[in-house]
């Protein structure tokens, strides 16, 4: 059975009471000693390993040996198509409040121009134009609360319009 996390693929094969794990040319024999909610007690190549594991949809938090990793489980070979879209959508780098919107749809903007200002944790975050272009669409209003990664504004490169 293959499991894909982010860009890495791990192969796990049942082998009697244990498993054989293969990853990046390495192989290990894994035995599950004990499980409890959110916690695995494993024997990996004879070494005792305690792992804390949590899941939230495709996300997996794993803590092993004092280090925590956030892995995203992938269901297959889904890849986002690259390129093709000349309009650049800008998203919120963190959750917060839209303090000001300095442009309107259709307005020409220059690279580096402040398009809007967010406020989060009492910090001011300026959203700058990534290139010279035109504001194609505005997805938020002043006073609105935004989530991380939420789209704020689309700027279209001027050269792409011709």
Partner 1 sequence: MFKKILIANRGEIAIRIMRACKELGAKTVAVYSDADKNSMHAQLADEAIHIGDSSPKQSYLNADVLIQAALASQADAIHPGYGFLSENASFAGTVDSAHLTFIGPSADSIRAMGDKAESKIRMKKAGVPTVPGFEGLESESDFKKAAEEIGYPVLVKAAAGGGGKGMRVVNQPEELHEAIESARGEASNAFGDDRLLVEKYIPNAHHIEFQVFGDQHGHLVHLFERECSTQRRYQKIIEETPSPLLTPELRKQMGEAAVNAARAVNYYNAGTIEFIFDPSLSTPALSGDEGFYFLEMNTRLQVEHPITELTTGLDLVQWQIRVAAGERFPYSQEQLTQRGHAIECRVYAEDPANGFFPSTGKLLQYIEPRGPGIRVDSGFRAGDEVSHFYDPLLAKLIVFGESRETAIQKMQAALREFVAHGVTTNIDFMQDVLSHEDFTSGKVSTKWVENKFNWKPSTPTFESLIAASLADLTIVNRPSSIVNEHDPFSPWKNPNGFRN
Task: Give me the helices (H) in the chain, please.
Answer: none
Asked whether position 32 contacts partner 1 by CB under 8 A, the answer is yes
In the shown chain, the binding pattern of residues 69 to 108 toward partner 1, with x for contact by CB under 8 A and - for none, equals xxx-x-------------------xxxx--x---------
Return the number of the residue (43 or 131) whose C-beta is nearest partner 1. 43
Residue number with CB closer to partner 1 (11 or 85): 11
For position 48 contacting partner 1 by CB under 8 A, the verdict is no
3-state secondary structure 29-73: EEEEEEEECCEEEEEECCEEEEEEEEEECCEEEEEECCEEEEEEE
Q: Which residues from 1-30 bind partner 1, rule CB under 8 A?
A: 1, 3, 5-6, 8, 10, 12, 19, 21, 23-24, 26, 28, 30
Cα gap 53→28, rounded to integer Å: 20
Q: How far apart are CA 161 and CA 135, in angstroms?
A: 12
CB 132 within 8 A of CB 156: no
For β-strands 59-64 and 8-15, DSSP reports them as unpaired
Q: Is 121 in the site for partner 1 (CB under 8 A)?
A: yes
If one asks whether residue 38 binds partner 1 (CB under 8 A), the answer comes out as yes
120 part of the interface to partner 1, by CB under 8 A: yes
Coil, helix or strand for 160? helix
Q: Which stretch binds partner 1 (CB under 8 A): 43-51, 74-82, 105-113, 130-138?
A: 43-51
Q: Based on CB atoms, which residue is closest to partner 1, 28 or 140?
A: 28
């Amino acid at each position: 059975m293959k499991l894909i996390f982010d860009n890495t693929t791990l192969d796990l094969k049942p082998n009697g009471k244990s498993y054989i794990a293969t990853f990046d040319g390495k192989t290990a024999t894994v035995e599950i000693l004990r499980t409890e909610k959110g916690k695995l007690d494993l024997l990996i190549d004879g070494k005792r390993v305690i792992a804390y594991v949590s899941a939230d949809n495709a996300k997996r938090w794993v803590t092993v040996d004092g280090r925590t990793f956030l892995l995203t489980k992938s269901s297959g070979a889904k890849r986002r198509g690259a390129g093709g879209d000349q309009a650049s959508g800008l998203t919120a780098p963190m959750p917060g409040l839209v303090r000001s919107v300095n442009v309107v749809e259709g307005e020409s903007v220059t690279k580096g121009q402040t398009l809007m200002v967010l406020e989060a944790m009492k910090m001011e975050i300026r959203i700058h134009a990534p290139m010279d272009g035109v504001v194609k669409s505005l997805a938020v209003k002043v006073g609105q609360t935004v989530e991380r990664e939420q789209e704020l504004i689309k700027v279209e490169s001027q050269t792409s319009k011709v």
